[in-house]
Amino acid sequence: MPRPTKRRTVEFLPPHDCFKPAGVPMADLEEVRLSIDELEAIRLKDLEGLDHEDSAERMQVSRPTFHRILRSAHAKVASALTEGKAVKIEGGTYRLKGRRRCRKCGNVWRESPEETPAASCSQCGSENVGPAAPGRGRHRRGRRAKGRGRTPGG
């Protein structure tokens, strides 16, 4: 059984979750699904201009893992741009940096990077707080093709 995917730290959620060619109805387009962590890799490397090592540190993954995430993201974006596909941004295995959640009342708040994590909830006073995890689930990759998976007798 494969090892579970470690949550990647992201510092940004996009204001829009879909981009498509102008003038073409969404129903007529193929979609490329870009995960939140793939978008974060593009943002860190291509927009902020960080090198692989600094980007990997910010996402709290190894440098080879960051490289794989970035390579996958670049391939998806290139496919969408050159083949006229829509880009749907959703899912992934990530956690949003700087968000805290009270496990008692469910209150969620954002802390500034300079602050140390709060020890108690500002609403109910509970000390049972932890990081908020809006990206708990993994993105769906579609249905598995028949015959894939474990081989008979293996």
- The answer to whether residues 1 and 59 belong to one domain is yes
Give the C-alpha separation, 118 to 127, whole Å.
9
Q: Is 146 domain-assigned?
A: no
pLDDT level of residue 143 (50, 70, 90 thresholds): very low
What are the two backbone dihedrals, phi and then psi, of residue 122, each rounded to the nearest 5 degrees?
A: -75, -20
- The answer to whether residues 91 and 105 belong to one domain is no
- The answer to whether residues 103 and 93 belong to one domain is no
Beta bridge partners of 89: 34
Q: Is 111 domain-assigned?
A: yes
CATH code of the domain containing 120? 2.20.28
- The answer to whether residues 44 and 115 belong to one domain is no
Q: State the average pLDDT over residues 67-80.
A: 97
In Å, what is the CA distance from 99 to each residue of 13, 26, 37, 87? 12, 33, 16, 27
pLDDT of residue 109: 74
- The answer to whether residues 85 and 130 belong to one domain is no
Give the percent of the chain with pLDDT over 90: 50
pLDDT of residue 154: 41
CATH code of the domain containing 53? 1.10.10
Q: Is 46 domain-assigned?
A: yes
| pLDDT, tens digit, 9 for 90 and up, residues 14-33 | 889 999 999 999 999 999 99
Instruction: Report whether 108 contacts 100 (CB < 8 A).
Output: yes
- The answer to whether residues 9 and 53 belong to one domain is yes
- The answer to whether residues 12 and 68 belong to one domain is yes
Number of domains in the chain: 2
Parent domain of 55: 1-16+29-97
- The answer to whether residues 76 and 36 belong to one domain is yes
| pLDDT, tens digit, 9 for 90 and up, residues 83-103 | 999 999 999 888 888 777 788
* Weakest-pLDDT range from 45-49, 50-54, 116-120, 146-150: 146-150
Query: Which tokens go with 104?
Result: 């008692």
| pLDDT, tens digit, 9 for 90 and up, residues 116-140 | 556 788 888 888 877 666 544 343 3
Instruction: Report whether 14 contacts 39 (CB < 8 A).
Output: yes
